[in-house]
A = this chain, B = another copy of it.
Amino acid sequence: MNLQQAQNKFKELNEKLRSYAYVGSIASFDMSTQAPAKGKAAAAKNLSLISAEAFSIRTGEEMKNTLEVLCENKDKLDEVTAKEVELLSEELEKSRKIPKELFREYREHISISGNVWQEAKEKSDFAMFAPYLEKTIDYKKQLAAITKPEMTILDAWLDDFEPETKTEELDAFFSVVREKTVPLLAKIQKEGKPVREDFVSRHYPKEIQRQVAHKLLEMFKFDLNAGLLAESAHPFATTITHGDVRLTTKFHEDNILAAIGSTIHEGGHGIYNQNAQLSPIVGNTGLAFGTSSAIHESQSRFCENMIGMSETFWQYFYPTLQEYFKEQLSDVSADEFHRALNVTKPSFIRIEADELTYNLHIMVRFEVEKLLAEGNVPINELPKIWNDKYTEYLGVTPPNDKLGILQDIHFSAGLFGYFPTYSLGNAYAAQMLHVMKKTVDIDATIKSRDLAPIVSWLNENVHKYGRLKKAKELIMDISGEPLNPKYLTDYLEQKFTKLYFL
């Protein structure tokens, strides 16, 4: 195979893989949003067969040979193709290290583990889940040792989701977060101005909430002709294909706040995906996606927290919301609404946590994962360890395993190392906000009711590069320094001090 042939073959294989990605994502989206109950078993089986087909194209001999030729000629490739080749080669090399039989065993185990977790969670019975978790830890350690023998177990797990992130960085990161957030939260609990919340749970019809959600997505420049908003139990954003990025949200008729935050959050993921697709640099290539979980989260959190839950935003958007809910919000001021949206309260459940306490939930999980990686703790002590950490950092003690260690799907799915990306996303967002403020007058932009300057900044600095720049490179290019948790803690301190003490 000469270079030209390899380039053609690479193009052909990528087109095929994009088609498989399309049908895979459309089927997954369908399963999460509307598939009827009785069809789900067959759908899941079909989808796993199709995924296996895609996997064998992605990791097969044809791809391997093609990538070899391209790697040998890397200097003759354009920047984007070179990066595509690099990322695919890395992935291929990693997956080739894993013995097929081990991987098959692991996948089967994970599928069973997921079912056991679900039942254990319902019964709030960690002991039932413990042996499966133990086995998962064992598999994940084996996989880490095989694929990344040069790293510690925890570094390898972290690297799976946020490449090149090290345990020591996260230790330093969370120590700053802990030092600043724990006392601030305690002070708010003790002395903060009370927040009015009676109106939150009035009746807010779903159909009107849906109109508000569409309005919000438009404000954040999500293109509804190149995507759509559906509903699902757990909100998410997903790229279906070029020109089609889908979001889901969840409407609670007895809670006006839930859908607002989740819609803007998924919208933030959505514009990252849409703009990457249209990028003059990476559009229409295998790089037209988010570069890492944390950077993706930074875009959703930026839109949700830094803009969508800011005081200025609600000064200007609240009258619009009041028009949709004339009756329900007639006796509520913009300030009251904004404060209710940002209320901070220690709680047991991560996915319902507010902006200030969220990182503490993640810190608990990171510390637990560290213990799992080090393996010095008997498995049956984990619930107590979990609960003790909640008591220490958040001041609340989960009364049972369901509200404690069994709440998240991640451990049951072997997703060790994923949790920290949520907090890293918050920190990246705060650091971007700090830089953005130097050239964009954020309050004036919101006041103008056209968020274009803000979204353009995100596009120019983040979205348009897709996967071309890795997270660490991106933040260095943007801010001239590596990730620094200070921006996050400063931002939170300022925001929550103003909310609760001014």
Contact = CB atoms under 8 A, between A and B. Distances in A.
Interface of A: 15-16, 18-20, 22-24, 26-27, 30, 34-43, 45-47, 49-50, 53, 223-228, 240-244
Nearest to A39: B244
Given A36-B244, A41-B243, 12 more contacts: A18-B46, A22-B50, A23-B26, A34-B228, A35-B240, A36-B243, A37-B225, A38-B244, A39-B227, A39-B241, A41-B242, A42-B244
Contacts of A40: 243
Given A23-B27, A30-B26, A46 B241 contact: yes
Given A26-B30, A43-B22, A243 B38 contact: yes
Contacts of A228: 34, 36
Contacts of A27: 22-23, 26-27
Contacts of A227: 36, 39
Contacts of A22: 27, 42-43, 46-47, 50
Q: Which 6 A-B pairs have the closest CB atoms?
A: A39-B244, A38-B243, A23-B23, A39-B243, A22-B46, A42-B242
A360 to B, nearest CB: 39
A49 B244 CA distance: 18
A223 B244 CA distance: 31
A241 B41 CA distance: 10
A190 to B, nearest CB: 49
23 contacts: A15-B49, A16-B49, A19-B45, A19-B46, A19-B47, A22-B42, A22-B46, A26-B26, A26-B27, A26-B30, A36-B227, A37-B226, A38-B223, A38-B225, A38-B226, A39-B226, A39-B242, A39-B244, A40-B243, A42-B241, A43-B240, A43-B241, A46-B241
A39 to B, nearest CB: 3
Nearest to A23: B23
Contacts of A39: 226-227, 240-244
A20 to B, nearest CB: 7
Contacts of A18: 46
A227 B37 CA distance: 8
A24 B33 CA distance: 18
Contacts of A244: 35-36, 38-39, 42-43
A328 B105 CA distance: 62
A18 B43 CA distance: 10
B42 A243 contact: yes
A223 to B, nearest CB: 7
A15 B42 CA distance: 11
Nearest to A284: B42
A15 B52 CA distance: 13
A317 B225 CA distance: 41
A290 B138 CA distance: 50
Contacts of A241: 39, 42-43, 46
Nearest to A22: B46
Which one of A50, A224, A244 has the greatest number of beta carbons of chain B within 10 Å?
Answer: A244
A256 to B, nearest CB: 22
A222 to B, nearest CB: 11
Nearest to A244: B39
A273 to B, nearest CB: 12
A35 B246 CA distance: 10
Contacts of A53: 16, 19, 53
Nearest to A227: B36
Contacts of A224: 36
Which one of A16, A35, A47, A223 has the greatest number of beta carbons of chain B within 10 Å?
Answer: A35
Nearest to A18: B46
Contacts of A243: 36, 38-42
Contacts of A26: 23, 26-27, 30, 43
